[in-house]
Amino acid sequence: MDKNKYKLLTPGPLTTTETVKEEMLVDLCTWDDDYKNMTQEIRAELLRLAHAESGYTTVLMQGSGTFGVEAVLSSVIKDTDKLLIAVNGAYSKRMAEICRYHRLPYAVVETAYDKIPQADAIEEALKADPAITHISMVHSETTTGILNDIAAVGEVAKKYGKKFIVDAMSSFGGVDIDVPALGIMYLISSANKCIQGVPGFSFIIAKEADLKETKGTARSLSLDVYAQWETMEKDGGKWRFTSPTHVVALEELRAEGGIAARHERYARTNAALREGMEALGFTAYIDKDVQGPIITTFLYPETMSFDFQDMYAFLKERGYVIYPGKLTAQDTFRLGNIGEIYDEDVQKILQIFTDYMKGLKEDDENRRNYL
């Protein structure tokens, strides 16, 4: 395959820089001190990005973001606990599925996918069920592109003394998250999202005192967060099992100007994409005021000739790959704008869509004339 044949308009995996790709060419030994030191540096840098250098720790886990979420839920929710899940998309719904697999006590507060979970609904659920000990939610719900209000829910968690778990898979590194200030007990994210690295591991930023209390709770050997943390602490960055040996692109995040600068780029390109697509006649699934800066969901255009696979191929031939929709009730597709996507890419993408829509209109006109 040709190098950089196309760019990914996805919420991760995403298009990485040449620097990251070059680092992948280096073979590393997971037992070597250089590798272990690199692991420790990554752990410390992630805490700095989370404003959590005091009282928190970082645990790196092999596997995707879902592995990280499942690791936390199955390792910290005890049989005597109960988790309340704020559901407004496929990824928060997946948390409930994880709970069912592990037979964890849980309840849900479900919200329409185009709306953010309201703090007062969470509060009412807590009042109605005193058994609830933990609250979890997704920050950037890439099912739709919505950015949920973790600050408001975090205040409710503090008020009622509940432990707050946040899936920040597609926001950490692209949206500033002050973990201690928000009262987050566990935050989960992944190397291949806004950090702009490659797939292979997730990471957990955890309140250290609470993590220590979970010893022996895990229901899985390989997903035991406490055991993973204990090994990394005792052996200076050693993973329990074979780890990915590639890098997280933290140096490039610093070079870009940190989270604030990256967030500004994401927000700018996202707004330009949404505005440009709407000008072409596409309708965004969620309102602008709850739109996150990571990915946007669009409804299929109302035209006789539209076919998603045909559009997908048209875009791919011209250098960009997109995501299909993740909604079940409506036909949609998604455009992500994280990774190596810049202003010039937005202009190219919109021109490609302009050309595609022009062809659709011509096809529709021909069909009408034929009928």
User: Edge-to-edge strands of the sheet including 56-62?
Assistant: 56-62, 201-207, 184-190, 163-167, 134-138, 83-87, 106-110
How far lies 310's CA from each of 138, 296, 356, in Å? 32, 20, 10
What's the count of helices (H) and strands (E) in the chain, helices before strands? Answer: 12, 13
Q: Are 194 and 170 in contact (CB under 8 A)?
A: yes
- Rounded to whole angstroms, the Cα distance separating 281 from 269 reads 18
For the chain, give the longest Cα–Cα distance.
75
Q: Which amino acid is at 239?
A: W
- pLDDT at 48 (0 to 100): 96
**ω into 13 cis (within 30 of 0):** yes
> How far is residue 318's CA from residue 320's CA, in Å, rounded to a whole number?
6
Question: What are the structural domains, with CATH classification, of the chain?
Answer: 18-252 (3.40.640.10), 258-370 (3.90.1150.10)
Amino acid identity, residue 25? L
CA atoms within 13 A on the CB side of 92: 32
Residue 106 β-bridge partners: 83
Q: How many CB atoms within 10 Å of residue 371?
A: 6
Q: Which residues of the chain have pLDDT under 70?
A: 1-4, 245-248, 304, 363-371
Q: Compute the distance between CA of residue 316 and CA of residue 108 in angstroms, rounded to an integer.
A: 39
5 exposure class (CB count in 10 Å sphere: 0-12, 13-18, 19+): exposed
Could you write out the DSSP letters of every residue in 220-279?
A: -STT-HHHHHHHHHHTTS--SS----S---HHHHHHHTHHHHHHHHHHHHHHHHHHHHHH
Short-list 191, 166, 189, 170, CA closest to 243: 191
Which of 276-283's residues contact partners 24+ apart within 8 Å by CB, and which partners?
276/346, 276/349, 276/350, 276/353, 277/335, 277/350, 277/353, 280/350, 280/353, 280/354, 280/357, 281/357, 282/353
pLDDT of residue 203: 95
d(CA 177, CA 190): 15
Q: HEC profile for 261-274?
A: HHHHHHHHHHHHHH
Long-range contacts of 26-31 (CB under 8 A, 24+ apart): 27/245, 28/245, 30/238, 30/239, 30/242, 30/243, 30/245, 31/238
pTM of this prediction exceeds 0.85: yes
**Cα–Cα distance between 134 and 141 in angstroms, integer?**
20
Query: Residue by residue, what is the 3-state secondary structure of 201-222?
Result: EEEEEEEHHHHHCCCCCCCCCC
Q: How far apart are CA 169 and CA 189, in angstroms?
A: 4
pLDDT of amino acid 159 = 98
- Identify each DSSP E strand in 88-209 by its residue range: 106-110, 134-138, 140-141, 146-147, 163-167, 184-190, 201-207
